[in-house]
């Protein structure tokens, strides 16, 4: 990026789905999933892709390394605290990249500085000086973040930024770490930082959504001179999440002229990116979510439908085709073959490898036998279920499930699971049929699991709609997510429950998860 870019209206999209996004409770992506998301983010055209936090675990280090050496297009960034070991580890992970950035941070607010770091103001300034300088010995491209900037004393904050800039930081990030600022406050802070920082340094926003203001605050930042926004796909991230990539992208696309800014994203990849992230993380997108929600372009009332049919512009300010959204067509039935199935997935921009394709096709056939017609949305859900599973490596496979109950009968369930050549059968009673089915699976799997969240939705309308269930379990202190789709909601729940257990069983490196918990920002 040239110095001219900093002064013109180009807003850099810094994607942190794989770092801050992955810190959302219950998300634990495999290395393969991270690389797949990174490749999709490159197709989307993000400017900077934060691949992870290499010091947090060996698995994270390897994922960042693989992304750095294989994904081309964006600048690949990695996070590092202002410590020598973090910075050296980040540089080591990034060295295979064509262009790379070290993103180093330290807490600056009194509350975080005193309670977490136990460091004086001077010690924080010294740490910034020493470690931005160290990062610069590895790469020209260094970003500095003052964690909890919006709750930091302004004079001290500006002093931190001055030190970082004088040591060569090329991007200064202003995180609203706890989502506390209001748009007018945040905009004013960006204006002050912009005014006293040399032109060649990019000012960046990093807004969390605790009060639902992440997008509004990021926009206020842009209006006041920020030329980088840190965002995550579907707005995922710590607690209530980060500024949503797709919302900022479409605000700039739709109102860019009024704002005097633009970006370089390939908007047609938005839906596909959103679906991939939702499928792999198990975080569903709420139906009324701006831009990527299932209802974002649905017109229900007669007046609206009439208006849109007469002229789309009456009620639509964005073109759904522009973000890669096709209508909800009835696509396939039980006679459809593998070729038609693969073709339908390709039209939806759903890319799956051979193994997942075979499994998804088998599931499609099972479901089409019961449901007759499968829509685009059903296909997305079927693929999501398959991608969420541990694949061929699933330790336990659901052979059959039988449930019984009613108004006068205690709910019971019997489940048969296959582990290699062994069949395990167990029964359980429960508060309801879902509870009984999950209890029977838990017994058969021999695993202690606590249900943390349970989400059920219907994929389309109608009584024959597929039920889509996402569960989050706590297994031995580790959160895991599972997804299940079926025409019957009890079966979908059982599948989701078992998928989560399989995921926990496939995560063998327990120590790694614990280490990450200690260091994540
Ligand atoms: O929210 C935050 O402050 C962060 C920093 C590490 C940038 O994620
Ligand atoms: Zn953050």
> CB of 20 closer than 6 A to ligand 1?
yes
Burial 475-508 (b: 16+ CB within 10 A, else e): beebbbbbbbbbbebbbbbbbbbbbbbbbbbebe
Give the mutation target among 20, 79, 169 for probing the ligand 1 site: most ligand atoms within 8 A of CB: 20
What pLDDT digit, counting tens, does each position of 388-404 carry? 665 556 789 999 999 99
Find the distance separating the first CA and the last CA of the chain, reported in whole Å: 28
Angstrom CA distances, 364 to 339, 375, 455, stand at 13, 11, 22
Atom index in ligand 1 nearest the CA of residue 230 equals 7
CATH topology for 3-281 is TIM Barrel (3.20.20)
Q: For 290, how many CA atoms within 13 A lie in the half-sphere containing its CB?
A: 14
Atom index in ligand 1 nearest the CA of residue 177 equals 1
Q: What is the dihedral of CA 273, 276, 281, 284, to 10 degrees?
A: 80
Q: What is the DSSP letter of 392?
A: G
Cα 463 to middle of ligand 1, angstroms: 45
Atom index in ligand 1 nearest the CA of residue 149 equals 3
Q: What is the DSSP string of 499-514?
A: HHHHHHHH---HHHHH
pLDDT of residue 300: 64
pLDDT of residue 144: 98
Give the mutation target among 79, 105, 107, 142 for probing the ligand 1 site: most ligand atoms within 8 A of CB: 105
Question: Token pair for residue 279?
Answer: 């499928």
Q: What is the DSSP string of 124-151?
A: HHHHHHHHHHHHHTT-S-EEEEEETGGG
What pLDDT digit, counting tens, does each position of 125-148 carry? 999 999 999 999 999 999 999 999
pLDDT of residue 407: 82
Confirm whether 3-281 and 397-510 share one CATH topology.
Answer: no
CB 25 within 8 A of CB 59: no
> CB of 175 closer than 6 A to ligand 1?
yes
> CB of 442 closer than 6 A to ligand 1?
no
Task: Give which of 120, 129, 33 is closest to 82, Cα–Cα.
Answer: 129
CB 485 within 8 A of CB 491: no
> CB of 521 closer than 6 A to ligand 1?
yes
Task: Give which of 338, 416, 335, 331 is closest to 381, Cα–Cα.
Answer: 331
Domains of the chain, by residue range, sit at 3-281, 338-389, 397-510
Atom index in ligand 1 nearest the CA of residue 147 equals 3
Q: Which residue has the tokens 């992208």?
A: 249
Cα 176 to middle of ligand 2, angstroms: 8
Atom index in ligand 1 nearest the CA of residue 173 equals 7
Parts of the chain with a pLDDT under 50: 1-3, 5, 509-517
Question: Token pair for residue 465?
Answer: 């709609």
Question: Token pair for residue 376?
Answer: 């685009």
Give the mutation target among 21, 22, 103, 147 for probing the ligand 1 site: most ligand atoms within 8 A of CB: 147
List residues bridging with 423 in a β-sheet.
418
pLDDT of residue 313: 85
> CB of 105 closer than 6 A to ligand 1?
yes
Cβ-based neighbours of 507, under 8 Å, separated by 6 or more: 28, 478, 480, 513
Q: Which residue has the tokens 């060996």?
A: 58
> CB of 108 closer than 6 A to ligand 1?
no
What is the dotted CATH code of the domain comprising 397-510? Answer: 3.30.160.270
14 three-class SS: strand
> CB of 324 closer than 6 A to ligand 1?
no
Q: What is the DSSP string of 254-287?
A: HHHHHHT-B----GGGHHHHHHHHHHHH--PPPT
User: For strand 330-333 and strand 228-231, is the pairing parallel, antiparallel, or unpaired?
Assistant: unpaired
> CB of 179 closer than 6 A to ligand 1?
no
> CB of 147 closer than 6 A to ligand 1?
yes
As a whole number of angstroms, the distance between CA 493 and CA 287 comes to: 20
Task: Give which of 221, 208, 112, 207 is closest to 160, Cα–Cα.
Answer: 112
Residue owning the nearest CA to atom 1 of ligand 1: 177
Angstrom CA distances, 477 to 33, 56, 326, 512, stand at 23, 18, 41, 13
Atom index in ligand 1 nearest the CA of residue 20 equals 8
């Amino acid at each position: 990026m040239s110095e001219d870019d900093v002064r013109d209206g180009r807003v850099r999209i810094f994607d942190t789905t794989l770092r801050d996004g992955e810190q959302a409770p219950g998300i634990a992506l495999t290395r393969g999933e991270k690389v797949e998301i990174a490749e999709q983010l490159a197709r989307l055209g993000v400017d900077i892709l934060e691949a992870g936090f290499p010091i947090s675990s060996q698995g994270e280090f390897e994922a960042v390394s693989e992304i750095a050496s294989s994904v081309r297009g964006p600048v690949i960034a990695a996070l590092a605290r202002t410590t020598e070991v973090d910075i050296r580890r980040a540089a080591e992970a990034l060295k295979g990249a064509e262009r790379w950035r070290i993103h180093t941070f330290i807490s600056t607010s009194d509350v975080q500085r005193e309670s977490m770091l136990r460091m004086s103001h001077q010690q924080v300034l010294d740490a910034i000086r020493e470690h931005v300088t160290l990062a610069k010995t590895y790469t020209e491209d260094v970003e500095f973040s003052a964690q909890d900037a919006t709750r930091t004393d302004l004079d001290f904050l500006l002093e931190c930024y001055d030190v970082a800039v004088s040591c060569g930081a090329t991007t200064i990030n202003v995180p609203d770490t706890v989502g506390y600022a209001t748009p007018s406050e945040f905009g004013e802070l960006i204006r002050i930082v912009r005014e006293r920082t040399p032109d060649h340094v990019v000012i960046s926003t990093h807004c969390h959504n605790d009060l639902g203001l992440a997008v509004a605050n990021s926009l206020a930042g842009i209006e006041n001179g920020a030329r980088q926004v840190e965002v995550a796909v579907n707005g995922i991230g710590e607690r209530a999440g980060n500024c949503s990539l797709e919302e900022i992208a479409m605000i700039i696309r739709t109102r860019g002229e009024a704002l005097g800014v633009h970006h370089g994203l390939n908007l047609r990849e938005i839906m596909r990116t959103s679906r991939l992230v939702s499928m792999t993380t198990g975080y569903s997108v709420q139906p009324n979510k701006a831009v990527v929600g299932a209802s974002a372009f649905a017109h229900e009332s007669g007046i609206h439908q009439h208006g849109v049919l007469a002229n789309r512009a009456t009620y639509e300010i964005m073109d759904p085709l522009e973000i890669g959204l096709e209508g909800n067509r009835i696509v396939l039935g039980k006679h459809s073959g593998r070729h038609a199935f693969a073709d339908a997935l390709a039209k939806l921009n759903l890319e799956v490898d051979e193994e997942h394709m075979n499994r998804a096709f088998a599931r499609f056939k099972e479901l089409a036998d019961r449901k007759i017609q499968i829509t685009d949305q059903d296909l997305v859900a079927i693929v999501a279920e398959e991608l969420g599973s541990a694949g061929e490596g699933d330790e336990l496979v659901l052979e059959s499930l039988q449930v019984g109950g009613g108004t006068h009968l205690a709910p019971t369930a019997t489940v048969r699971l296959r582990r290699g050549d062994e069949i395990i059968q167990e029964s359980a009673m429960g508060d309801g049929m879902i509870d009984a089915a999950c209890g029977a699976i838990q017994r058969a799997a021999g695993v202690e699991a606590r249900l943390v969240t349970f989400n059920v939705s219907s994929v389309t309308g109608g009584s024959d709609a597929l039920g889509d269930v996402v569960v989050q379990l706590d297994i031995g202190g580790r959160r895991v997510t599972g997804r299940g789709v079926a025409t019957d909601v009890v079966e979908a729940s059982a599948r989701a429950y078992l998928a989560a257990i399989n995921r926990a069983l496939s995560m063998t490196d327990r120590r790694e998860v614990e280490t990450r918990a200690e260091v994540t920002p």
